[in-house]
Amino acid sequence: MPYSQFSIEQIKAAFGIAFSSKMGLFADIPEIEPSSFLQETLQFNLPLALEINSEKARSELIVAPIILVEIKKLLPERMSLFLGREFNVDAARV
């Protein structure tokens, strides 16, 4: 069963998951200078993604190849990427 078929309430009930939010979660993390690769790629890709104006374009032109890859380069041991992977839930547990 794909995650997209679950509601937040179903997830909470079925798996005993609690959600919490915290203001200022990243407040203590120092700012870093973006790499020249990130700056150049955003300069080219951002107007294109906005012109296409779809979630798919933003995901493929901005988020995945640029932001996620940049973070992965900076924190290789602390981040994993699972792009395009399906993580399905055991239907018997629902």
Q: For 12-33, write each residue's pLDDT tens digit.
A: 888 888 887 878 877 888 888 8
- CB-based burial, 45-79: b 16+ in 10 Å, e otherwise: beeebeeeeeeeebebbbeeebeeebeeeeeeeee
- Chain centroid to Cα 22, Å, comes to 18
* Residue indicated by tokens 């055991």: 90
Per-residue confidence band for 3, with pLDDT thresholds at 50, 70 and 90? low
- How far apart CA 14 and CA 90 sit, in angstroms, is 11
pTM: 0.51
Distances from the Cα of 63 to the Cαs of 5, 53, 56, in angstroms? Answer: 23, 14, 10
